[in-house]
Chains A and B, each alone.
Chain A
Amino acid sequence: GAGVSQSPSNKVTEKGKDVELRCDPISGHTALYWYRQSLGQGLEFLIYFQGNSAPDKSGLPSDRFSAERTGGSVSTLTIQRTQQEDSAVYLCASTPIVSPNYGYTFGSGTRLTVV
């Protein structure tokens, strides 16, 4: 697509439920990144994909968080047994390849609220 698309834009869920957040990167971009933006804080790196593989998952906060990417395109971030501290804006970005030359292109984010 023309830009990075994320869905849903807003999600309210009850504590303990599982949620799936979707990211559709720019067509042809092989690198995809997930960040989390919490209130009053900067962006926190979660995970990145090169193609379908995730060489670095070190930013995932706990084993309740997982992500996958299929077909070198769409990525899904899953949070199991959500907690209130998971409330944040989850941002996805993509680049043509893993290189700083391009700068990230970000989606509009998914605002997750756990009640």
Chain B
Amino acid sequence: AQSVTQLDSQVPVFEEAPVELRCNYSSSVSVYLFWYVQYPNQGLQLLLKYLSGSTLVKGINGFEAEFNKSQTSFHLRKPSVHISDTAEYFCAVSPSGTYKYIFGTGTRLKVLA
């Protein structure tokens, strides 16, 4: 069975500092990988996705993520965060050939002034 682990439930960081949100997965088949962001009282918005090809994926709002197959990780990074990045971030995997996403439990990013 597939699973997604986001070890950090909350990450506080000062404005303009870099941030990394960790995501590890387990799967016996190849997967597609996604990061979503959820602002308060809103639905989830796609930040970026990895389907194939280059392991470094760039998304919206200056975020990027790197797929590491050997470590089964897909960590999300941003070199300099803004107050407006305060939100909850979800990592998800979709085993190839399926339609379901398996989501992690989310990481709440709080950017401090």
Interface residues of A (CB under 8 A from B): 4, 6, 31, 33, 35, 40-43, 45, 48, 56, 91, 93, 98, 100-101, 103-109
Task: Give the complex CA separation of A101 and B51 in angstroms.
Answer: 7
- What are 25 pairs between A and B in contact, CB < 8 Å? A4-B43, A6-B43, A40-B105, A41-B105, A42-B90, A42-B103, A42-B104, A42-B106, A43-B90, A43-B103, A56-B100, A91-B44, A93-B43, A98-B99, A100-B49, A100-B51, A100-B94, A101-B51, A103-B46, A104-B44, A105-B46, A106-B43, A106-B45, A107-B43, A108-B41
A43-B44, A43-B92, A104-B36 given; 4 more Cβ-contact pairs under 8 Å = A40-B105, A91-B44, A103-B49, A108-B42
Q: Which 9 A-B pairs have the closest CB atoms?
A: A106-B43, A42-B103, A43-B103, A100-B32, A103-B46, A106-B44, A42-B105, A108-B43, A98-B99
A48 & B46 in contact (Cβ 8 Å cutoff): no
A45 & B100 in contact (Cβ 8 Å cutoff): yes
Tell me the count of chain B residues lying within 8 A, CB to CB, of chain A: 24
Interface residues of B (CB under 8 A from A): 4, 32, 34, 36, 41-46, 49, 51, 90, 92, 94, 96, 99-106
In the complex, how many angstroms separate the beta carbon of A94 from the nearest chain B beta carbon? 11
Q: Which residue of B lies closest to A50 (CB)?
A: B99
Cross-chain pair count, CB within 8 angstroms? 53
Task: Give the complex CA separation of A103 and B99 in angstroms.
Answer: 10
Q: Which residue of A lies closest to B49 (CB)?
A: A103
B99 cross-chain contacts in A, Cβ below 8 A: 31, 33, 48, 56, 98
